[in-house]
Structure 1
Amino acid sequence: MTTPRPTKTSGSQIGLAELGVTKSVLAWLFMLSIVLAVFEGVGLGMLLPVLAYVRTGGLPADGFIGRVMGDALGWLGAWGKNWELAGLLVLTFSIICLRYAVNYVRDVRLVHLRLSITRMLRDKVVRVLVRSDLGYLLSRRSGELQSSLTLETERAGQAASAQVNLITATALVVVYMLLLVLLSPLLTAVTVPILALVALVLRWQSRKSFSLATAVSEQNLRLGDQISEVLGGILRIKMRGQEAKAEELLSTTAERIFRGMFNLERLRLAVEISTHPLMAAAGLLVMLLAVAAAEVSLEVMAVFVFVLVRMAPQVNLFINIWSQRNACMASLQRVRQLVAQAGERRESGGGHRPGPVPVEGVEFRDVWFRYPGAKEDDYALREVNCAIAANSLTAVVGRSGAGKSTLANLLAAYHLPTQGEILLDGHPLETYRLSALRHGMAFVDQQPFFFNDTIRENLNFGVVPPLSDEALEQVLKDSGSWEFVSRLEQGLDTPVGERGSRLSQGQKQRLAIAHALVVKARVLILDEPTSALDKTSERIIAQTIRNLASRLMVIVIAHRLQTVRWSDQILLVEQGRLIAQGNHDSLLASCPQYRELFGKDD
């Protein structure tokens, strides 16, 4: 599936409120930045009286700064001139220390904000994915979703926090500009065109870096998808000797990511380094103009140039933040797009009717179903009409792709019919609360999933309170599992491995059936449970299914005679249509398609 490219959006369109950045947080950070900028300005402004003192040997007597310094430090003159200078230097140093203390508090808050945004984005992605419907999840690649939850949300958090950081960095640059204006409007007028040129460079970089960042984001998603496929198919890769091909596949994508990131960094460095000559040009022009204009004093020129020197790192910091924001903006766009799409596909909670106890029967009435995204006439099921009784065994048979699994998925409410309705005890399926409906059902897939935990924990998953050892032993006996579990050295505390890797296929099938009994399911659906089993395991599973049919509604998708032969009802599906139903003997006698499938002993 092709991953949709995020559309370019300006920073103002990325709502900080939806990322958990409240107005109070922004106000607090902005206030810290203003205080930081004020201390920076005052600290630099203190250089004027210091330089004046060095030149004249005393505190300045005129001007606002001179009067303030005279009132604050004049009393030290009684102790000697050196005490006045010492007091002036101590005051200047104290202001500088306060400036860096405020800087520390602000930076800590910004780091906390960045990590909080990343955590919030991950929580939001997890929430919408877990709550979205099965059709949406199956339409997305697992590697893409994993990458969205890890690397993409990390980069998205950096983009969002960079937007906030830009606000605070801008405040510092503005204070520097105000300080320059206060020092000399004439000299400031010389620097404005150069700073405007820097702004134009930043605008060009924004456009260039967005396209590069989008390509990097797409490659990150592709790499996550490829890693998932390679690890999932590693046995097949090794059996076919395709290790070199798998390595080349991953290395090629990693190389593209490297090239994209390198180009982004090279662009950032080019813009950052280009600002140094521009700022140097501003300083040289200031000195030239200061010499030509007699009204500019030596102290003012010196402080003005020093402010420019101090301003250069802040401009570079602004450029770095701007570059980081642009480099990660594509990831933020993509994560927001994923959240929006998955949110639109949120799974319905169903109606308000509680789950039936016990289940009396199920009826399909003129059911048609088409998967989302399929062509208008591409139906997986067409005009299905049938009834399934409680305490019975119903087998759904047919060739591969006939629609057997789709029929079972509809009954488990993984999807809703496109047309028609499914009635459970006479009521449409969608009128039941989805949680209650599914709690009364158990679905045993061809490849049952197990968490990397013990047998006990897997059986008790979702069960409150957990069953005792005695109760677990009974369901293991009912499912035909106790025979092998009792022989394990650790018994119920035996780890099953990742996805049940330490269990055989037959053992996993039996334990999956045991879990259905643990949750007290009233409807048990099995999707080809004996397709990959040996004869012995198949007979055990088939006997277990027949035993359970006396107290549950059991629906089994099957293509093995051992499972089908003893069914109370058999539904034959072909090309999405239910073409025949009955028991084994009646279908053998009346249905050529059934005879073709099961006319010979298995």
Structure 2
Amino acid sequence: MAEINHLFTNKTSEAYSHLKIKNTTILLLFVLTVLMALFEGAGLGMLLPLLAFVQSGAPQGDGLLHDFMQKVLSWSEIFGKDYELVLLLSATLLVIMVRYFINYLRDARLARLRLDITRRLRKMLLGALLQAGLGYIAESKTGELQAGLTTECERAAESAAAKVAVITSGILIVIYISLLLLLSPLLTLFTIPVLALVGLLLNWQRKKSRNLTYSVSQQNMSLGNQVSETLRGITRIKMRGQQNATGKKLSETIERIFTGMLGLEKLRLLVEISMHPLLALAGLTVIYLAVKIIQVDMVILGVFLFILLRMAPQVNLLVSLWAYYNSCRASLERVTGLIRQAEACEEATGGGLSLSLNNPPEIKTTDVTFKYSGAKDKTYAIEDISCQIAAGSLTAVVGRSGAGKSTLISLLAAHHAPTKGRIEFNGVPLKEYSLSNLRRRIGLVEQNPFLFNSTIRQNLNFGRQTPLDETGLQNALKESGSLDFVERLEQGLETLAGEQGSRLSQGQRQRLAIAHSLAIDARLLILDEPTSALDKTSELIIARTLRRLAGKLTVVVIAHRLETVRRADLILVLDKGRLTAKGDHASLLQTSGIYRELFGD
């Protein structure tokens, strides 16, 4: 296997190392390929003795096939002389049927291998993405990841299966050449230049296809990203009348994929068609040399040509598989590249401590600084943030757009680790808590909360090991201010939320997100601008709910509305990534110009 891998690029070989294809699988495919070739040769080899029997009444020649046909004819003693031809025809048909049965086993094994590789790659990529840091996921393009999990995984599996088939066919061709050497080294020597031309042609095809296959893979990823973006922004596209422009952009990408695939197909056909004259040239050269120059015995010449003819289909198959491997290998490299990237960004699991379920946490930040990956040097999203949030308090984070509010709460929600500084819960650094346990104790309500396309009951219970009973669900709905509207729904808790919660209003989704936080026994509730897009009634319900929950939970909320801010125990004022002021509503109106600008009369 190590020697065979040198036939492929280092990058491609590294990609194949992820698949861990067993040598026994390659051996089994090789054995099936050899058996298929043997039975095909036997089936064809029986035709001449069979015709001789029809003409003379007795099989001609000697060897294994002759002995086999004699054995078949001996069965006529049971069935009668009149059935000799039927027996021979039946035996010939049986050999041909065995050949195609072996062909079926080989192709089924290859299909299983291809589907298994597809399954394995998808599981590996999904697993790596699920374990990757939230920062990596946020910075990745959703459409490209979707294309990687679908189209690209399938093409990658095609490439891997083709490589295995190339190896088995290649080994069989080597065996054929070895047999030719045993029969006549001199004749084989004269056929080597033709075989060398085949090798050069394959190498040329590999080089020519490289750019095309990488282009097709890139365009597949680009199409996935464009489709994802188009579907998410379809309302805006229609409102601006940009359907035709968007369709044109997508069509151009589809055309580039078509052009690349067509180029690969033309290249494959050109190489395959070129094989036939080359192999015919090899056969004719052998005949001329054997008759005119070397004067090889006709029996040896016949066997030599027979092996050469048996080798020809394998050479054609090898060429076809080689072309297919080259047309898809970029997809394998791209998918395994995604796996490596995601694995490199795997989240640390943290320590072994668990956040207490009994009391809400006290939070302390000391000189917390954070910079997003890819940001310019010395460009921090937040810098030197130090504050203390009392257990069970309601804290509002305010500031102009781009002040760093969302970055701060993402750090408190353990989405990222600070670049510098320290965050403590109950006096213990965040890194000493088990990350999975800590996150289960944090409820996060985003500006546009995500709900799964399942029932409200299932959404509320998501993440719980055992579902809440009716009383528990009713309490969570009541405390979050959701009970009234859920009871008004025709199917109540069994109502489907729709894709991303589309069947519910934004205010309803936010209240259900708060209910979910209560259902999972969250000790810290973090809200990202929960009332910015709500009407006055919904805003008031959310604001009162937060004030009511403070004490039971530690609540941190990014706020833009006075109704939420004035109820807070502590208000943090951020500007350009720094904490510029802190206090309550009344004191900040006196001491902070930014706060007065945002919330003053």
Please say if residues 41 and 176 of structure 1, whose CA atoms lie closer than 8 Å, have aligned partners that are also in contact.
Answer: no
TM-superposed CA distance for 1:309, in Å, is 4.2
1:421 alignment partner in structure 2: 422
CA distance in 1, matches of 2:347, 2:202: 44
1:393-442 CA distances to partner (integer Å, 9 max, x unpaired)? 00000011101111101111100111110011011001000111111110
1:494 alignment partner in structure 2: 495
CA distance in 1, matches of 2:11, 2:529: 52
1:4 alignment partner in structure 2: none
Tell me the number of residue pairs that the alignment of Structure 1 and Structure 2 aligns. 592
Which deviates more from structure 2 when the two are superposed, residues 296-305 or residues 19-28? 296-305
Distance 1:15 1:42, change over 3 A: farther
Structure 2 residue identity aligned to 1:165: A
Structure 2 residue identity aligned to 1:167: I
1:540 alignment partner in structure 2: 541
Residue pairs, 1:520-531, within 5 angstroms: 520-531=521-532
1:515-571 CA distances to partner (integer Å, 9 max, x unpaired)? 111111110000000000111111111111111113110000011111101110000
Distance 1:416 1:77, change over 3 A: closer
Please say if residues 69 and 88 of structure 2, whose CA atoms lie closer than 8 Å, have aligned partners that are also in contact.
Answer: no
TM-superposed CA distance for 1:78, in Å, is 10
CA distance in 2, matches of 1:177, 1:190: 12
Please say if residues 30 and 169 of structure 2, whose CA atoms lie closer than 8 Å, have aligned partners that are also in contact.
Answer: no
CA distance in 1, matches of 2:470, 2:376: 51
RMSD: 2.8
Structure 1 residue identity aligned to 2:213: A
Please say if residues 361 and 523 of structure 2, whose CA atoms lie closer than 8 Å, have aligned partners that are also in contact.
Answer: no
1:474 alignment partner in structure 2: 475
TM-superposed CA distance for 1:50, in Å, is 6.2
1:3 alignment partner in structure 2: none
Please say if residues 12 and 333 of structure 2, whose CA atoms lie closer than 8 Å, have aligned partners that are also in contact.
Answer: no
Please say if residues 45 and 65 of structure 2, whose CA atoms lie closer than 8 Å, have aligned partners that are also in contact.
Answer: no
CA distance in 1, matches of 2:274, 2:423: 69
Residue pairs, 1:551-562, within 5 angstroms: 551-562=552-563
Distance 1:222 1:66, change over 3 A: closer
1:170 alignment partner in structure 2: 170
CA distance in 2, matches of 1:191, 1:564: 87
1:217 alignment partner in structure 2: 217
Matched, 1:384 2:365: no
Residue pairs, 1:93-492, within 5 angstroms: 93-181=93-181, 184-292=184-292, 295-296=295-296, 301=301, 304-305=304-305, 307-357=307-357, 358-492=359-493
Please say if residues 156 and 329 of structure 1, whose CA atoms lie closer than 8 Å, have aligned partners that are also in contact.
Answer: yes
SS at match of 1:486: helix
Distance 1:537 1:12, change over 3 A: closer
Distance 1:191 1:94, change over 3 A: farther
1:357-394 CA distances to partner (integer Å, 9 max, x unpaired)? 32341100111111112122011111111000111100
Please say if residues 362 and 425 of structure 2, whose CA atoms lie closer than 8 Å, have aligned partners that are also in contact.
Answer: yes
2:587 alignment partner in structure 1: 586
TM-score (norm 2): 0.91
2:504 alignment partner in structure 1: 503
Structure 2 residue identity aligned to 1:515: H
Distance 1:599 1:302, change over 3 A: same
Please say if residues 59 and 66 of structure 1, whose CA atoms lie closer than 8 Å, have aligned partners that are also in contact.
Answer: no
SS at match of 1:332: helix
TM-superposed CA distance for 1:207, in Å, is 1.1
In the alignment, structure 2 segments of 5+ residues that lack a partner are: 1-7
1:277-322 CA distances to partner (integer Å, 9 max, x unpaired)? 2122223333333442684465655565455444333222111110
TM-superposed CA distance for 1:210, in Å, is 1.6
CA distance in 2, matches of 1:183, 1:412: 76
Give identity over the alignment, percent.
53
SS at match of 1:368: strand
CA distance in 2, matches of 1:242, 1:570: 43
CA distance in 2, matches of 1:283, 1:149: 47
In the alignment, structure 1 segments of 5+ residues that lack a partner are: 1-7
Distance 1:61 1:444, change over 3 A: closer
Structure 1 residue identity aligned to 2:407: T
Distance 1:87 1:477, change over 3 A: closer
Structure 2 residue identity aligned to 1:418: T
CA distance in 2, matches of 1:167, 1:38: 18
Distance 1:183 1:85, change over 3 A: farther
TM-score (norm 1): 0.91
CA distance in 1, matches of 2:66, 2:40: 21
CA distance in 2, matches of 1:67, 1:239: 81
Distance 1:475 1:298, change over 3 A: same
Structure 2 residue identity aligned to 1:443: L
CA distance in 2, matches of 1:512, 1:67: 81
TM-superposed CA distance for 1:509, in Å, is 1.0
Structure 1 residue identity aligned to 2:418: P
Matched, 1:18 2:18: yes
Structure 1 residue identity aligned to 2:339: V
TM-superposed CA distance for 1:468, in Å, is 2.1
1:58-117 CA distances to partner (integer Å, 9 max, x unpaired)? 66677x669966985796899999998887766555444333222221111111111001
CA distance in 2, matches of 1:301, 1:56: 25
SS at match of 1:394: strand
Please say if residues 41 and 179 of structure 1, whose CA atoms lie closer than 8 Å, have aligned partners that are also in contact.
Answer: no
Which deviates more from structure 2 when the two are superposed, residues 169-178 or residues 566-575? 169-178
SS at match of 1:19: coil
Structure 1 residue identity aligned to 2:269: L
Please say if residues 166 and 322 of structure 1, whose CA atoms lie closer than 8 Å, have aligned partners that are also in contact.
Answer: yes
Structure 2 residue identity aligned to 1:571: L
Structure 2 residue identity aligned to 1:258: F
